[in-house]
Amino acid sequence: MNILTTQNLKVYFPKNSKVVKALDGVDIFLEENQITALIGESGCGKTTLAKTILGFYKPTAGKIFFKDFDITLKENEPNIRRNIQIVFQNPLLSLDPRYTIYDSLYEVVFAFRKIKKKQAAEIIEKAIYQVGLDKDILFRYPHQLSGGQLQRICIARSLINKPAVVILDEPTSSLDITSTLKIIKLLDDLQKTYNLTFLFISHNLKLLKKISTFCFIMYKGKIVEYGPKELVYNNPAHPYTRLLMVAAELKLKDFQEEENFDAACTFYGRCKFRSDICKVGYKKIEVEPQHFIFCNFATAVDYTLLNK
Ligand SMILES: Nc1ncnc2c1ncn2[C@@H]1O[C@H](COP(=O)(O)OP(=O)(O)OP(=O)(O)O)[C@@H](O)[C@H]1O
Ligand code: SF4
Ligand SMILES: [Mg+2]
């Protein structure tokens, strides 16, 4: 069952006399109890999508459904706050430096439940234990913890009220590789143990290869490819997804400045396979069952050109 769905979601920001189309018709869906990956390079609109789902930004157009509720409507807002939580990229910016860890967690527990202090303390200790930390840490301040410990606290905080969906917005990008792997393992274990639903956002395709089950690839505010993880990873079909796959091996000399074009396909300016028809439109192609791309030719192009 899809627990969260966006339909033709658009968020445009004014910029001088123009607009930035941070989201330009995004359709995604999250299956319950699965890790769905949203992958795309910096500036493609990932955080805007997360914040719009959370209600921080009002959509320019489109709808967001949590179960059957359109949560872009004001009257359905109470369904968002407890049920959809987020873990941001930089844990130090997510926690109030004046509060102990205990106080930061207490504030969140108490926001949704009027409970006795003793009961809150039990919930907080359990949450800390779930993310592999010791309760001694509760009376420290954020600056007294490592980046990895802080991100565990943010994960505990996001889960403490048993939300239906947690959005993880590049939760490891400020961490070193050892801490990153530990946090990925923790998230994978938590998801399996508690049957959680995650939207895991990253610019790193490799990072999500093992743990996600479904993925969406995003470029300049649009989804360009989506499908079950193994299909997209084993048979990437859109030129942008192919580029992401080889990006780790790219050298500085390979960097190609984007040319500016007014084209229907947002990838036109970087695409080695473009043709005039891509200026006016592009197709949705089902590459194989459940696996889709938005491109005129991608299934027919010679990808060895990408490495030339
Ligand atoms: N509040 C805002 N006001 C104006 N423009 C914004 C705002 N937030 C984001 N943008 C613009 O929208 C586009 C998408 O930004 P967003 O932060 O969603 O990208 P991102 O994919 O999360 O990038 P990163 O990987 O660097 O975090 C960018 O061009 C950004 O400058
Ligand atoms: S539609 Fe055309 S320009 Fe866009 S990715 Fe496909 S081939 Fe390239
Ligand atoms: Mg971001």
Query: 107 and 48, same structural domain?
Result: yes
User: Could you tell me the residue range of the domain that residue 55 belongs to?
Assistant: 2-234
pLDDT digits (tens, 9 = 90+) for 228-271: 999 999 999 999 998 888 765 555 444 556 677 789 999 999 88
The candidate with the shortest Cα–Cα distance to 54, out of 21, 32, 83, is: 83
Which ligand is closest in space to the CA of residue 221? 1
Query: 160 and 13, same structural domain?
Result: yes
Of the chain, the percentage scoring pLDDT greater than 90 comes to 76
pLDDT digits (tens, 9 = 90+) for 21-45: 999 999 999 999 999 999 999 999 9
Burial of 32 (0-12, 13-18, 19+ CB in 10 A): middle
Query: 293 and 156, same structural domain?
Result: no
Give me 13's structure tokens. 């920001």
User: Vertex 75, ends 73 and 76: CA angle to 5°?
Assistant: 70
Q: Number of folded domains in the chain?
A: 2
Query: 219 and 247, same structural domain?
Result: no
d(CA 4, CA 165): 8
Looking up residue 196, the CATH number of its domain turns out to be 3.40.50.300
Ligand 2 atom index nearest CA of 301 = 7
Residue of 223, 225, 273, 279 best suited for mutating to test ligand 2, as the one with most atoms within 8 Å of CB = 273
Least confident of 67-81, 148-162, 188-202, 243-257: 243-257
Query: 267 and 132, same structural domain?
Result: no
- With a 6 Å cutoff on the Cβ, whether 135 touches ligand 1 is no
Residue of 238, 243, 292, 295 best suited for mutating to test ligand 2, as the one with most atoms within 8 Å of CB = 295
Query: What is the rounded average pLDDT of the residues 154-183?
Result: 95
Torsion, Cα of 199, 205, 206, 212 (10° steps): 30
Gap from CA of 108 to ligand 2 centroid (Å): 46
Which ligand is closest in space to the CA of residue 306? 2
Ligand 2 atom index nearest CA of 263 = 3
Instruction: Kindly report whether the global pTM for this prediction surpasses the value 0.85.
Output: yes
Query: 191 and 80, same structural domain?
Result: yes
Q: So what's the pLDDT on residue 129? A: 96
Gap from CA of 134 to ligand 1 centroid (Å): 36
Ligand 1 atom index nearest CA of 44 = 21
Ligand 1 atom index nearest CA of 40 = 21
- With a 6 Å cutoff on the Cβ, whether 16 touches ligand 1 is no
pLDDT at 308 over 70: no
